[in-house]
Chain A
Amino acid sequence: MKPESIVGTSAQRVDVKDKVTGQAQYAADIQLPGMLYGKVVRCWEHAHARVVRLDLSAAAKSPGVVKVLGPADVTANKYNSSVLDLMVSEPMHDLLGDIDDQAIFTTHVKYQGDAICGIIAKSEEAAERAAAKVIVEYEPLPVYLTAEASRQPGAVQFVPEKPGNRAFQLPEPMFPDHALGGGDVDAAMREADVVVEDVFYVPKQKQCQMEPHAYVAKFDNAGRLTCWTSSQMPKLVQAKLAKLFDLPMARVKINATVIGGGFGARLGLISEPQACAMALAVPGHPVKLQTLREEDWAISPSRHPGRYWMKLGFKKDGTPVACDARFENYKGGYYLDASGTAFTAGAWLSGMYKFPALRYRGESYFTNQGLTGAFRGYGNPQTNFALEQLIERACAQLGIDPVEWRKKWHKGVGDDGWCAGVTYPSCALDECLDRGAAAIDWAEKRRRYANQTGTLRRGVGVAVMNHTSGAMPMLLEHTACTVKLNEDATAEVIFACSDMGQGSHTALKQIAAETLGFPFDDVQLASPGSDAGFDIGAHASRTLYVGGAAVKAACEDAKRQLFARAADRLQVPADQLDIRDKKIFAKADPQRSIDVEAITRGGVYHFVDPMTGETTGAPGQIQGYVSFFPPHNSPPFGASFAEVEVDTETGEVRVLDVVNTHDIGRAINPAAVEGQLEGGIQQGLGFVLTEETYYDDRGRMLNNSFTDYKMFGPSDMPKITTILVEDADPVGPFGAKSVGESGLVSPIGAVANAIYHALGIQFTEAPITPEKVLKGIREKGVAQVAH
């Protein structure tokens, strides 16, 4: 890399000034002339019921009400608020069994908070008042909170297409015997000297993005529906809404607003269907739909909770021989994302260690819990909690140091990644483990904490993870990007990639500036939403890896055109030219040069001299373009180390220290990468220690508030060290791999294993709350773990 590279520096965020002054415009901040206000009336009394009577007459007469909308007043089309169905081919769609089972307003309530009807009024207050006058009578139905309950014979069927309320299982023939993996697991397990096995529970964690969902929608007089939304996926939302409302895509426009946190919550649709249905009912008037935080708790799809059974077999020398697992998740009331996590949890499992025989089964069952969908990590946290604890137990039984075992048996370059046949192009996990172990003083602390007495017990633990950069080949990976060169030799990069706050737009701008050879400040990004070319959206840790490669390719296209014209003007072959400070010059003779502006300006202002009839340079504005499909998914690895202190009298676990190392390939913007790893720790600690959604026996949430749903606060956070291991990936742009989701995954296993080291007890149910710790101590007694 050239010494003046912008790639690899912590360039200042493009949106920072807007954000520190509060000027960044989120959807709720939009104020349009003639705006009306929408309110969705939700069912709070029941998690499972049929609507037997809906009387909107009193609400319709309430002061300030413009319209009320029941199920019969909106399209009868159903939808599926996930977008996974748009990312697979038609045959795959059929194989997976994707269904559209959501209605804009329902008559069969399947979770607490399901939408019943809508109010459009002249003020939010008037809409609220009218909502209180809606009369709904329900026939309560049995409430099923677990897969075990909803698959019982005789249970009410959620949809006719999914008998037994099984929303999904890995389909044959793609997964023979409904299992992912290969080898003869039963035979291999019989040959094992050491077998470890347990059943785990993984929690229903909420994204808790700070911006509650908000929308503005307008059906204009020209018949175009516009929706302002902070969706992570403007292009797929455009496609979904067009299909739902039977409109051509050209008449559905998505304006991408600043995203106040995503973490998967905005992957696909949330309440865009309701907001747009309201806008369609009042043509010419924008309608704002501001979701209250209590609604957000209900309607944001959470992480998939459920039971995760796992069994691992090893030879005496530590050689892994067999892995057998089954994850049964509690889907919630609707189908969305039923296939995704059920598959990926096993994909991460298969990508981690060299088990020659592996069998994973993933199933999703409808329940009356709240929706489940995408949440940062997407199946990986669940797998990490189970797998990494069992590895730790095996290491204790085998008498092998857990760091050494992982170094020896993790998959690496040339091995199959999470998808069989797609091999790892790079892997720096050994260095992650070495540097992390040194940072936390692993050997010394394992020794020091081996013989403790007293109330407070300390422990250190390690865990590793593999993830992905984009979802190819399982899902469509495609980003289009246009780079327009202005006449004054500045550039505008146009794409639909969302920045959820992670700083991807800044990093993409760094890639553009570096590739073009333009100063950072002479490159501008435009991410207008659906007006840009196709992009899958921000998910699967893809934006930097796939979006960045697309930006790079589009900029290379523009640069190629620029160099072709410079070659003509300078009479030097294009491959012998270079660019610096917006000057193109012959490498062999830097004096032989031309200003980029002479080319770009001449291309736009291309005059014919009226006296001579002659022209200068080539005509035409230069635009680079690519419709990019990545050739790989370059998975990153990571290792986390944690030190904890457990109070054996209160059961409290204090996390003292977390070291998060990451195999980033190359950090385009190191401060942004650190930010992902640091924030990931906060969410990972929540998964393993504090975060869970609790329900009463009727399926009503018990802790839907920031007071009762405990996240790690500033004083709870441990000392944090992040280590970026840079070993350039051969495929990613400038060698970069992803970091968006990874940071929260392995802190989960590391903390669980640190608790095991401290107490000699493993906890199979997350989150590991003080109650569970005390119960474990009472039942099992504190013991020492030798290693």
Chain B
Amino acid sequence: MKDAQITLQINGEEYRLNVAVNRTLLEVLRDQLGMTETKYGCGTGECGACTVLVDGDKAINSCLTLAATMDGKRITTAAGFANFGELNYIQQAFTDEAAIQCGYCTPGMIVKTASLLAKNPDPTEQEIRHALEGNICRCTGYEKIVKAVKKAARTAPGAAVAEPAASVEVAQ
């Protein structure tokens, strides 16, 4: 199989890579780079566990994307939102709303939320649910995930509506 030389900016770092032209972005991230935060769920673009963000606002299924076609792109994974242990507002919202159970869909959900809020900073509940259609969660019934996305919209840096203080239960 032929190789292609590509440059990807992943979570702020630049990577010059030799990738086989038949390798998906998911395979390159997980197997070649060891970035296992992006998950394999189906390999056919149906579950959204492998969602990554391209150029800051576009969510794609990395299992359906050949890495060689992504030359020069800026890729963000769920790990890329955290700054050395400090969670970003989306991750914090998922934490506060207890929107996580098994956690396997979570990285994809967080990326999809980032993509939604980049395009639509103040989505309605219907818009949130519609945006999450490509990301399957089998644990939560989506209830707390939708709440987390709403909270993320409220707490985004520069969000119009300020978060009411101390609205959630916190561990002692």
Q: Indicate if A616 sits at the interface (CB-CB under 8 A).
A: no
Q: Which residues of B contact A207 (CB under 8 A)?
A: 138
Query: Which of B36, B102, B136 is A501 in contact with, Cβ under 8 Å?
Result: B102
Q: Count chain A CB atoms within 10 A of each CB in B37, B38, B105 and give the residue with the most.
A: B37
The segment out of B41-49, B66-74, B153-161 that lies at the interface is B41-49
Residues 280-297 of A, flagged 1 when their CB comes within 8 A of B and 0 if not, give: 000000000010110000
Check A29–B43 contact: CB distance below 8 A: no
Q: Report if A12-B170 is in contact (Cβ < 8 Å); known contacts: A212-B40, A293-B42, A502-B101.
A: yes
The reply to whether A520 and B78 contact each other, CB–CB distance below 8 Å, is: no
- Asked if residues B144 and A678 are in contact (CB atoms below 8 Å), the reply is yes
A499 and chain B: residue at smallest CB distance: B102
A11 contacts which chain B residues (CB < 8 A)? 169, 171-172
Contact check, A260 vs B102: say whether CB atoms are below 8 A apart. yes
CB distance from B10 to the nearest CB of A (A): 13
A678 in contact with B40 (CB, 8 Å): no
Known: A28-B40, A261-B138. A520 touches B172 (CB 8 A): yes
Min CB gap B153→A, angstroms: 15
Chain B residues near A588 (CB-CB < 8 A):
none
Task: Scan A679-723; emit 1 where CB is below 8 A from any B CB, else 0.
Answer: 111110000000000000000000001110001111101001000
Across the interface, B143 reaches (CB within 8 A) one of A17, A24, A520, A717, namely A717
A21's partner among B39, B87, B132 (CB-CB below 8 A) is B87
A107 within 8 A of B: no
A653 CB to nearest B CB, Å: 17
Bound CA span A188–B91, Å: 60
Contact residue among B42, B79, B104 (Cβ-Cβ distance under 8 Å from A26): B104
Interface members, chain A 1-25 (any B CB < 8 Å): 4, 6, 9-13, 15-25
Question: How close is B84's CB to chain A, nearest CB, in angstroms?
Answer: 10
Whether B49 and A210, one on each chain, are in contact in the complex, defined by CB atoms closer than 8 angstroms, is yes
Q: How far is the CA of A500 from the CA of B102 in the complex (A)?
A: 6
**Residues of A close to B137: CB separation below 8 A:** 210
Bound complex: CA A678 to CA B40 (Å): 25
The answer on a CB contact under 8 Å between A20 and B141 is no
Chain B residue at minimum C-beta to C-beta distance from A6: B172
Cβ-defined contact, B171 with A9, below 8 A: yes
Contact B129 A714 (CB under 8 A): yes
Assembly CA distance A6 to B101 (angstroms): 20
In whole angstroms, what is the CA distance A683 to B91 when docked?
26
Q: Is A711's CB under 8 angstroms from B87's CB?
A: no
**Contact yes or no, A715 B133, CB < 8 A:** yes
Partner among B40, B107, B129, B138 whose Cβ is within 8 Å of the Cβ of A22: B107
Interface residues on B, range: 35 or more
Q: Is A768 an interface residue (CB 8 A)?
A: no
Whether B82 sits at the interface, judged by CB under 8 Å, is yes
Number of contacting residues on A, CB 8 A? 66
What 1/0 flags go to B8-21 for Cβ under 8 Å of A? 00000000000000
Closest to B42 in A: A293
Chain A residue at smallest Cβ distance from B100: A19
Whole-angstrom distance between the Cβ of B129 and the nearest chain A Cβ: 4
A258 at the interface (CB under 8 A from B): yes
CB pair A672–B98 under 8 Å, yes or no, is yes
Question: Is B62 an interface residue when CB atoms closer than 8 A count as contact?
Answer: no
Q: Is A211's CB under 8 angstroms from B104's CB? A: yes
Contacts of B138 in A (CB 8 A): 207-210, 261, 263, 679, 682-683, 711
* B78 in contact with A21 (CB, 8 Å): yes
Task: Flag if B169 contacts A671 (CB, 8 Å).
Answer: yes
Q: Are B87 and A17 in contact (CB under 8 A)?
A: yes
**Is there a chain A Cβ closer than 8 Å to B164's Cβ?**
no
Is A31 an interface position by the 8 A CB rule? yes
Q: Which residues of B contact A209 (CB under 8 A)?
A: 102, 104, 138
25 A-B pairs whose Cβ atoms sit less than 8 Å apart in the complex: A11-B169, A12-B98, A16-B100, A17-B87, A18-B103, A20-B106, A21-B37, A21-B78, A22-B36, A22-B37, A23-B37, A24-B103, A210-B39, A211-B39, A259-B102, A260-B102, A500-B102, A502-B139, A671-B98, A680-B141, A705-B42, A712-B141, A714-B128, A714-B129, A715-B133
Interfacial residues, chain A to chain B (CB-CB below 8 A): 4, 6, 9-13, 15-26, 28-29, 31, 124, 207-212, 258-263, 290, 292-293, 500-503, 519-521, 670-672, 674-675, 678-683, 705-707, 711-715, 717, 720
**4 interchain residue pairs of minimum CB distance:** A22-B37, A501-B102, A19-B103, A260-B104
Measuring CB to CB, which residues of chain B are less than 8 angstroms from any residue of chain A?
Answer: 30-31, 34, 36-44, 46-47, 49, 77-79, 81-82, 85, 87, 91, 94-95, 98, 100-107, 110, 126, 128-130, 132-133, 136-146, 169-172
- What would 6 more interface pairs be, CB under 8 Å, given A260-B39, A678-B144? A20-B106, A21-B81, A22-B77, A29-B30, A260-B102, A682-B142
